[in-house]
């Protein structure tokens, strides 16, 4: 099943394929968007015991929306908010299309569309006064906590809405430390990409670099030496992705 894909132009058929795969027992692993000329390619990834299936939907240039997955597939909630942020596409039926990775009401720059031409990363200007409220009532107030760094997450801000003891609503805002990492990867050859992968997060430098090498090897249909199990790379192979195919198992554990 690894690498299986189907590209559709019918939005309803694509949605039915994705939801049908999940209903059959496969795990929803992500929803990505990529600029393809003037069109937008949506790729839903479904994980099964024997590999990854990719269901692609090609939306034409004038398309403004598609039927949302979130009402039937809660795991797509953040993915569809991010797609709305980055491409302006509307997942019809999504319960809450608030900004996720871009600040609300941003006035500067264009969204950093994955796959679009150009190397400039859009400048992000958070509005410090824009604090959304989801709960109303006597004594309720919002505490903007952060941005702070927590565990494996980047710097985020927690919006705590509370009357004092109970917390009826907690929201997070992710854009305070937007570094344009995904956009940067698009501009690099594999040899440079592995250097960026290991610098994405210090505490996971070996894991990220190893996964990148395995993924690039799989994208280029490279054969792996015995004992090296490939990770999966979700993207088209190019000439620049054939140069890094494996990593020495003896180097998988960093010196601490």
Residues 141 and 105 in one domain: no
Residue 168 forms part of a structural domain: yes
Residue 40 forms part of a structural domain: yes
State the CATH number of the domain containing residue 50: 3.30.460.80
Q: End of a domain among 71, 92, 115? A: 115
Q: How far is CA 159 from CA 54, 77, 196, 220, in A?
A: 35, 18, 31, 43
Residues 220 and 245 in one domain: yes
Residues of the chain predicted below pLDDT 50:
1-2, 119-122, 228-256
50-101 residue pLDDT tens: 888 889 999 998 889 999 999 999 999 999 999 998 888 999 999 988 888 7
**DSSP bridge pairs for 145:** 158
CB burial of 184-199 (b: ≥16 within 10 Å; e: otherwise) equals bbbeeebeebbebbbe
Residue 42 forms part of a structural domain: yes
pLDDT for the residue numbered 154: 63
| Domain tally, the chain | 3
Q: How far apart, in whole angstroms, are the C-alpha atoms of residue 59 and residue 5?
A: 16
Place of tokens 């692993």: 29
Q: End of a domain among 83, 115, 147? A: 115
Residues 86 and 21 in one domain: yes
Q: End of a domain among 156, 178, 200? A: 178
Residue 85 forms part of a structural domain: yes
Residues 172 and 111 in one domain: no
Residues 65 and 97 in one domain: yes
Residue 256 forms part of a structural domain: no
Residues 88 and 25 in one domain: yes
- Strand segments, DSSP code E, in the chain are 4-8, 27-36, 39-48, 51-59, 65-67, 90-92, 141-148, 156-162, 169-173
Residues 238 and 160 in one domain: no
DSSP percent split of the chain into helix, strand, coil, nearest 5: 25, 25, 50
Residue 155 forms part of a structural domain: yes
Q: Give, to the nearest 10 degrees, the angle between helix 205-219 and helix 190-199.
A: 150
* Both structure tokens of 159: 């919006």
41-50 residue pLDDT tens: 999 999 988 8
pLDDT for the residue numbered 86: 85
Residues 59 and 44 in one domain: yes
Residue 73 forms part of a structural domain: yes
- Residues, the chain: 256
Residues 163 and 196 in one domain: no
Residues 42 and 77 in one domain: yes
Q: How far apart, in whole angstroms, are the C-alpha atoms of residue 198 and residue 207?
A: 8
Residue 121 forms part of a structural domain: no
Q: Provide the residue range defining the domain that includes 79.
A: 4-115
Q: Which residues fall within 8 angstroms of residue 245, CB to CB, at 6 or more apart?
A: 213, 216, 217, 220, 222, 223, 224
Residues 8 and 84 in one domain: yes
pLDDT for the residue numbered 61: 85
Residues 59 and 147 in one domain: no
């Amino acid at each position: 099943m690894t690498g299986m894909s189907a590209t559709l132009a019918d939005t309803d058929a694509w949605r039915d394929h994705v939801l049908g795969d999940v209903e059959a027992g496969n795990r929803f692993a992500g929803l990505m968007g990529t600029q393809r000329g003037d069109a937008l390619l949506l790729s839903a990834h479904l994980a099964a015991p024997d590999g990854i299936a990719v269901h692609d939907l090609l939306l034409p240039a004038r398309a403004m929306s598609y039927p949302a997955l979130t009402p039937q597939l809660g795991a797509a909630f953040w993915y569809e908010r991010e797609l709305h942020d980055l491409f302006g596409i509307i997942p019809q039926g999504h319960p809450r299309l608030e900004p996720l990775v871009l600040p609300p009401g941003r006035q500067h720059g264009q969204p950093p569309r994955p796959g679009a031409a150009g190397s400039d990363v859009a400048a992000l200007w958070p509005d410090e006064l824009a604090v959304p409220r989801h709960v109303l009532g006597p004594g309720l107030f919002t505490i903007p906590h952060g941005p702070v760094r927590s565990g494996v997450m980047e710097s985020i801000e927690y919006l705590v809405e509370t009357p004092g003891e109970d917390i009826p609503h907690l929201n997070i805002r992710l854009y305070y430390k937007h570094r344009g990492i995904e956009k940067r990867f698009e501009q690099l050859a594999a040899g440079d990409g592995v250097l960026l992968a290991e610098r994405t997060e210090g505490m996971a430098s070996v894991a990220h670099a190893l996964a990148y090498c395995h993924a690039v090897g799989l994208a280029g249909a490279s054969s792996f030496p015995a004992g090296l199990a490939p990770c999966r790379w979700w993207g088209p192979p190019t000439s620049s992705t054939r140069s890094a195919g494996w990593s020495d198992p003896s180097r998988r554990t960093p010196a601490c």
